Amino acid sequence: MRILSGIQPSGRLHIGNYFGAMQPAIRLQDEGDAYYFIADYHSLTSVQDGKALRGFVRDVAIDFMACGLDPNKCVLFRQSDVPEHCELSWILSTVTPMGLLERCHSYKDKIANGISPSHGLFAYPVLMAADILIYDSDVVPVGRDQKQHVEVTRDIAIKMNETFGAGLLKLPNPRISETTAVVPGLDGRKMSKSYDNTIPLFEEPGPLKKKIMGIQTDSTPVEAPKPVEGSNILALYKLVASQADYDTMVADHLNGGVGYGDFKKRLLQAMTEHFAPFRARRDEIVADKDYVEKVLAEGAEKARSVARKTLGRVRAAVGLGA
């Protein structure tokens, strides 16, 4: 089973990215032949500072490995080290109906959030389709917001196969981890860097405390029972606490007598403990200066040999080259 996923290097990773995208991908590395890449071509649609982009790419690689991604079990690479993605993207774009892209929520949401509508942003799902199809991927683990893009990928593959020959491209399936599909942010909306409500994965202790103590709550008095439905403290706690500790916090909500300040302190402690081993691993990775580049270079070589073969097959089918 070929597994493939990508993550954009467009800023500091947050715990929504971790539970929604990284943890499921890391778990899957034991179940098949996994290819994970850092989508720097995609990030050009939002990051227009070369030095910053290069730094984000490195940080994503470091963070991903610190959280358990093992380059001996999967292939980790930088998208732009495999330029074949772009060539396939162009070929796919010639069979992609405009209407298919016009329907994409992600594009519409980004425009609504004030991002200027470039051609790259509009064509983003076609590049994503190329990323997926060039590895003959079976399974694509992504957050719920990316499901539509995998469906678009299937539509494009179907169109290619109808036009240039059955079986030319393999149809992928999305894999959404339903249990942690949406991690709430500090203000209760979906955690997202566009809402400035995130808890960064490797936040320093001081700012982490400030963020958690600043989580928005209602004004129920200490002694009164507190609502469990829709509580973002509980939703976040569930991700990092043991079942027993979580059950205790639920009971304390229902019984009353414990204030939100206390709940936040428990959350802070559980969060700190949960990520402590990752933090230690991160320090080790950072200390070995050449390690990250070495991993990415080896990953690129492996990925590129697969990508070249698929692209060769497609070029032959559509009539490019001699």
* Range list of H helices, the chain: 15-17, 23-28, 40-43, 50-66, 84-93, 98-102, 105-112, 119-133, 147-164, 205-213, 232-240, 243-255, 260-287, 291-318
Cβ burial of 245 (10 Å; 0-12, 13-18, 19+) is middle
Q: Interaction with ligand TRP in 146-175: which residues (CB under 6 A)?
A: 146, 149
Strand pairing of 139-141 and 74-78?
unpaired
Binding segment for ligand ADP (CB under 6 A), chosen from 138-146, 241-249, 258-266, 293-301, is: 138-146
* Catalytic residue chosen out of the listed positions 147, 170, 193, 209: 193
Q: For ligand TRP, which residue has the nearest CB?
A: 6
d(CA 234, CA 189): 14
Return the one option of ligand ADP, ligand TRP, none that residue 132 interacts with (CB less than 5 to 8 A, by type).
ligand TRP
Q: How far is the CB of 197 from ligand ADP (least distance, A)?
A: 9
User: Annotated catalytic, 193?
Assistant: yes
The residue with tokens 């200027």 is: 116
143 binds ligand ADP, rule: CB under 6 A: yes
Give the type of residue at 230: G
Which residues, at least 6 apart from 315, have a Cβ–Cβ distance to it below 8 Å? 91, 321
- 3, 6, 67, 104: which one contacts ligand TRP (CB under 6 A)? 6
Q: Interaction with ligand TRP in 27-86: which residues (CB under 6 A)?
A: 39, 42
128 binds ligand TRP, rule: CB under 6 A: yes
In sequence order, the β-bridge partners of residue 37 are 6, 77
User: Annotated catalytic, 170?
Assistant: no
Interacting residues with ligand ADP (CB under 6 A): 7-8, 16-17, 20-21, 142-143, 145-146, 182-183, 190-194
Residues catalogued as catalytic: 110, 190, 193
Interacting residues with ligand TRP (CB under 6 A): 4-8, 39, 42, 128, 131-132, 140, 142, 146, 149
